[in-house]
Structure 1
């Protein structure tokens, strides 16, 4: 072990001891569950011994707008982020080789994920409460990767080294400190999110109980977790195949939670060498998978009123299947004729891409309140999303109606825009987070166009 790595592991042990001490001294249960608002910080130290947390050195709440302006003013020095991140990971793994085992063999997806995180932070620095909410969830989710506070500190030191390399002669202490404060604010929320989730497993081991091919590139899997896995209809979770350690992809949970303890996933193979191919082509009954914590914004909410439009593309049907089963469970037989109309729009490039049709046909036949509208054909790709949007808005939505969307980000953006143009209030359209990027930054922050995606998660919108 190198001297550098020895220093790191000593710091790791110190952070674990501090974390345990906070738990033991906590009077309100698990750390991070107090009722106060905002980030309490500081919760740890960086590798240079400086504290990091959600408050400034003067104990005042973090004011991110000033750092936002500094970073954006010098953004051309460190972008594209892909190059900055490549330097970051080079520095991280050079200083701490043992950390490499926490990451997948193929780093492209991880680098894209971190790029989205940076863009999200930049967009929301003037709204720190949104960063707190999002990164608290992110910290909870990262527990499945085995990440601990001292590892975040190692990440920060590597980031500083990467910033100096990218900025070169134009590097300044002002720029580095703005980046460090931004990252520390997000890290503090992540650490508190992880601490608040200590009562649940970081991940769930599960055994595959059924694997049904619905075509050459589509499989429906059923798995049984070894511990109780609680979720809400419409949520998704990340899956890891034993064939690809430390590589996770998000999939919607199909079906009503809690019926038989098994979980159902619909997986479309999107390429070679990834998680989807492993699950579709190389997984069999008896194999093991791991699940991350459930998350997601889809949900029926209170008792539905007005017309409900469910819009799914391809395997987005999994989320709608769960929501329909929950809706049915809420309805009493005597009230079914009084429930608001539910219209399910299922989109696909071709009729042959629709699946689970036998189940859906039977479900619709016995529920007079449900109408299913398949939408296929047209130009493959995003052109087909326009066709789906036209079908969804063919009858103008009532202002009291609602719409829930599940599918690729381009589809979600296209249908959301069509619904709002047709008169449905924006807050009546619900979908899961869309990937953030430079084109999503508001014009007041930089010359990158209008804001589109509002939320960043540890995984992009489910496959």
Structure 2
């Protein structure tokens, strides 16, 4: 048999890259097998990612999002109108979701015990989160674009948990069993089929989101280089990532403390991206035994944290480029520090920014030095501390605008703080004439 023709250089490069990736995957397999005493689960994950990346290199674009479109190009709904009527009509059979979710996890961990290691010791937050996901899905059966975008982001984020497509299959099987047990004799195969089509639409978006992020780390490691208690219940953490962490001023990321593996909570970055890869977080302890307590009370300089991918739309684009109204409550000041930090690198022009910082008492203003100094250094910025809680803050926003003749309705606004404060402030700003599309805030409870 004659010799085959030489392959094109690009093909040889892709093949060489694939071989290198395969070798790296084998090394990763051996390392994980050795360090987990024969448990080859992590080796499988490493090989799975390496093979997906190899397919992308050999056939660029081969790993694409599942087909969720109609012939006209619009997103196909998570389920059709008949499915929507079935799901909503039978929702009373499986709500409230608490019992359904308890049974789901009992089935899943009983049938696939190794999956328990992907979850934190306490499942309370996880159960609440899943209830929010089910509520979000069933409320938005007629909004496929929103659902697809949300679950694509979730799929990217869930890579840090070690979630893979096979895990979704286990989840689906456990959910079906839990639905049947919860609804009892009134459950039907038609209703189960409708739930499965809804679930598979969301899972398809999550798998697509994970595949699209295959070239970035599932999580970033960061060393704590500063830990300052500003109050007994509040710490300012400075961490330095081991490799470049991509984010934008105003975004947030999920943190995992070393003492609570698999438990993650979201915190805003309090500085714009820096050349030294140092990031600042403001953490208030919200309860005993959780991530916030671990970060405030049990984290020390030198500890290594894990950081999930950045998310959030409270960034300097679109409307958030010129005159701004910023309203912060508590540690909600953090993302606005980052936004002001970034604005300071841009030409000021005739920009005007008003930052209202709400606190119950004067002692609650934990970053007074920065507040006093930043206004002096940024002539386009006006900082207005307000004491007395959310009602006092909202009254101050309205009163200040009236006294100075400021038309808040012509500005863009961003709001950050406790969920109740954010909801009340958004309602007040709408009442002052700001359109909803010019008010930014991070996701509130009720969205996954």
Q: TM-score, normalised by structure 2?
A: 0.84
The one of 271, 275, 280 equivalent to 1:264 is: 280
Question: Gapped runs of 5+ residues in structure 2?
Answer: 1-40
Matched, 1:392 2:408: no
The one of 67, 77, 96 equivalent to 2:112 is: 96
Give the CA deviation at 1:305. Answer: 6.2
Over residues 52-75 of structure 1, what are the superposed CA-to-partner deviations in whole Å (9 max), with x where a residue is unaligned? xx479xxx9445242222111011
Which range moves more in the overlay, 298-307 or 399-408? 298-307
Which range moves more in the overlay, 251-260 or 184-193? 251-260
Could you say if the C-alpha distance between residues 55 and 169 of structure 1 is closer, same or farther in structure 2, counting changes exceeding 3 Å?
Answer: farther
Structure with higher RCO (Cα < 8 A, 6+ apart):
1
Map of 1:401 onto structure 2: 411
Over residues 230-270 of structure 1, what are the superposed CA-to-partner deviations in whole Å (9 max), with x where a residue is unaligned? 11000000000010000000000011212421110000001
Map of 2:20 onto structure 1: none
The one of 258, 269, 277 equivalent to 1:242 is: 258
Could you say if the C-alpha distance between residues 174 and 303 of structure 1 is closer, same or farther in structure 2, counting changes exceeding 3 Å?
Answer: closer
Map of 2:428 onto structure 1: 418
Give the CA deviation at 1:106. Answer: 0.2
Q: Is the 8 A contact 1:136 1:192 kept in 2?
A: yes
Quote the RMSD (CA, aligned, Å).
Answer: 2.3
**Aligned equivalents of 2:209 and 2:321: distance in 1?**
34
Other structure's SS at 1:374 match = strand
Map of 1:208 onto structure 2: 224
Map of 2:147 onto structure 1: 131
Q: Is the 8 A contact 1:136 1:194 kept in 2?
A: yes
Q: Is the 8 A contact 1:347 1:376 kept in 2?
A: yes
Within 5 Å, give how 1:74-153 maps onto structure 2: 74-153=90-169
Within 5 Å, give how 1:314-463 maps onto structure 2: 314-331=330-347, 336=348, 338-377=349-388, 384-394=389-399, 395=401, 397-436=407-446, 456-457=447-448
Other structure's SS at 1:205 match = strand
Matched, 1:64 2:93: no
Which range moves more in the overlay, 23-32 or 398-407? 23-32
Which range moves more in the overlay, 252-261 or 412-421? 252-261
Q: Is the 8 A contact 2:66 2:208 kept in 1?
A: no
Give the CA deviation at 1:360. Answer: 1.7
Question: Gapped runs of 5+ residues in structure 1?
Answer: 1-8, 33-38, 42-53, 378-383, 437-455, 458-463
**Aligned equivalents of 1:103 and 1:63: distance in 2?**
27
Could you say if the C-alpha distance between residues 210 and 29 of structure 1 is closer, same or farther in structure 2, counting changes exceeding 3 Å?
Answer: farther
Q: Is the 8 A contact 2:77 2:141 kept in 1?
A: no
**Aligned equivalents of 2:380 and 2:57: distance in 1?**
54
Other structure's SS at 2:269 match = strand
**Aligned equivalents of 2:192 and 2:292: distance in 1?**
39
Q: Is the 8 A contact 1:313 1:346 kept in 2?
A: yes
Within 5 Å, give how 1:30-69 maps onto structure 2: 31-32=63-64, 40-41=66-67, 54=68, 61-62=76-77, 64-66=79-81, 67-69=83-85
Q: Is the 8 A contact 2:325 2:408 kept in 1?
A: no
Matched, 1:254 2:280: no
**Aligned equivalents of 1:275 and 1:350: distance in 2?**
26
Could you say if the C-alpha distance between residues 229 and 63 of structure 1 is closer, same or farther in structure 2, counting changes exceeding 3 Å?
Answer: closer
Matched, 1:223 2:233: no
Larger Rg: 2
**Aligned equivalents of 1:29 and 1:360: distance in 2?**
48
Give the CA deviation at 1:356. Answer: 1.4
Q: TM-score, normalised by structure 1?
A: 0.81
Other structure's SS at 1:301 match = coil
Give the CA deviation at 1:402. Answer: 0.8
**Aligned equivalents of 1:304 and 1:121: distance in 2?**
30
Other structure's SS at 1:121 match = helix
Map of 2:17 onto structure 1: none
**Aligned equivalents of 2:58 and 2:132: distance in 1?**
34
Could you say if the C-alpha distance between residues 302 and 18 of structure 1 is closer, same or farther in structure 2, counting changes exceeding 3 Å?
Answer: closer
Could you say if the C-alpha distance between residues 30 and 413 of structure 1 is closer, same or farther in structure 2, counting changes exceeding 3 Å?
Answer: farther
Other structure's SS at 2:314 match = coil
Give the CA deviation at 1:27. Answer: 3.3
**Aligned equivalents of 1:268 and 1:314: distance in 2?**
9
Over residues 164-219 of structure 1, what are the superposed CA-to-partner deviations in whole Å (9 max), with x where a residue is unaligned? 00000111111111111111110010001001101100001111001001010110
